[in-house]
Copies of this chain bind each other. A is one copy, B any other.
């Protein structure tokens, strides 16, 4: 297979409203937007860009404009011309790692992930003491250690969903779980319903498995009431009935990036229609226990419908640390067996020491959550007050849990802002990272799970970035047409 090529149409989709907010030459606006797409990984390095003529036609600009944009990118080191292959995306200095790792002076808020638990090394040390009992085995463990499967099942039971270890498979993080479930449940060409915006690697996993995506908006207005997702459920119900998908991927609690949750009634309605339709709902509950101040936590999604309608995915990535790669799948035992058979071509199992660590951590989950909730409360409150102070025109929806807020910027300038922030040493995920086809330029995800000092540094960097943006005054930008 040759390197990937990007059609003019695909690039146009990724570009979104690239001319919005730009005041200088058109070619510069185009070049800048392509540069951001390459920098944040939406256009992979070594991807062939469309021919100049085709792109000019598709965008409705002159050929000269595209030529000038490509030349500018070439001069900056973001495009390389290859004989016979046209123009190919690259990153200056050809670093081996993408996305570019933050320099020591950089602040990386492109991931909404907390630093590790302060006492993680102590737990790791205890887990090493558990290791010798396993060293006589082959070590290949594609299903999970019995002691860990039991601990995960017990945790579901404690949360109100009776579960047996036979319903659990241990995976190498939640993403691995989502990819595996997608591979088993999605047939090539099947439809899969996703929320929009959503966590991008999840829908990439569904696409990899051959799914055609059906995106259902869950945040139609930036002023929407975050606590209540009844409208979303109406839209999800309609999408399920209309498109008959084999799967639907969603986050019932503290949706990433919006922070919204489904109440008990919405859960029941959703699984009702899924069961009637034969759709399996893949519920990513990685952040489900990260309550800050919800009055009433619903049960895990599978509690609200017939067996087999919801497959649950969980992980330690957002409670313990992203560097501990333990996730899991809760499903009916027959599906667990199919997942096991499907797993071996992809990997031969989960590391043993990692599993022993996870077993001890899950046993202390209440203590972990108490700590995390306090941190998240502080993070959320600080983000709300700081943004109100620095960006009075931005809208920060009040969330009652989760790891991020989905800020309404009042103008479709998110990519431009992310690019300007990078120049200020701040990496941040622009709104379109969470949509398909370049949507969500009016939104920015800001994590609330960082140490408060980082949050403060980030908002101040955003302020400097905002001021550096050419030709953009918030009041003016607000007059631009909405994206959604």
* Chain B residues, CB < 8 A from A322: 138-140, 348-349
Copies in the complex: 2
Report the bound CA distance from A136 to B115 in whole Å: 5
B347 touches A173 (CB 8 A): yes
Report the bound CA distance from A120 to B205 in whole Å: 35
Chain B nearest Cβ from A442, distance in angstroms:
25
B136 touches A207 (CB 8 A): no
* Chain B residues, CB < 8 A from A462: none
Interface residues of A (CB under 8 A from B): 1, 3-4, 41, 44-46, 94, 96-98, 108, 111, 113, 115-116, 118, 120-121, 124-125, 128, 131-132, 134-141, 143, 165-166, 172-173, 175-176, 179, 184-187, 190, 201, 204-205, 207-208, 246, 317, 321-325, 333-334, 336-338, 340-341, 344-354, 357
* Chain B residues, CB < 8 A from A120: 131, 135
A179 touches B44 (CB 8 A): no
Report the bound CA distance from A346 to B177 in whole Å: 8
B111 touches A344 (CB 8 A): no
**Given A124-B131, A139-B323, A348-B201: A98 and B341 within 8 A (CB)?**
yes
Q: Which 9 A-B pairs have the closest CB atoms?
A: A139-B323, A139-B322, A96-B166, A323-B352, A116-B135, A204-B345, A1-B187, A44-B341, A325-B351
- Main secondary structure, interface of A, reads loop
B98 touches A113 (CB 8 A): no
Chain B nearest Cβ from A458, distance in angstroms:
14
B46 touches A337 (CB 8 A): yes
* Chain B residues, CB < 8 A from A179: 345-347
B323 touches A351 (CB 8 A): yes
Chain B nearest Cβ from A418, distance in angstroms:
18
Chain B nearest Cβ from A349, distance in angstroms:
7
Nearest opposing residue in chain B for A186, CB measure? B1
Report the bound CA distance from A173 to B348 in whole Å: 8
Nearest opposing residue in chain B for A184, CB measure? B1
Report the bound CA distance from A1 to B183 in whole Å: 10
B124 touches A353 (CB 8 A): yes
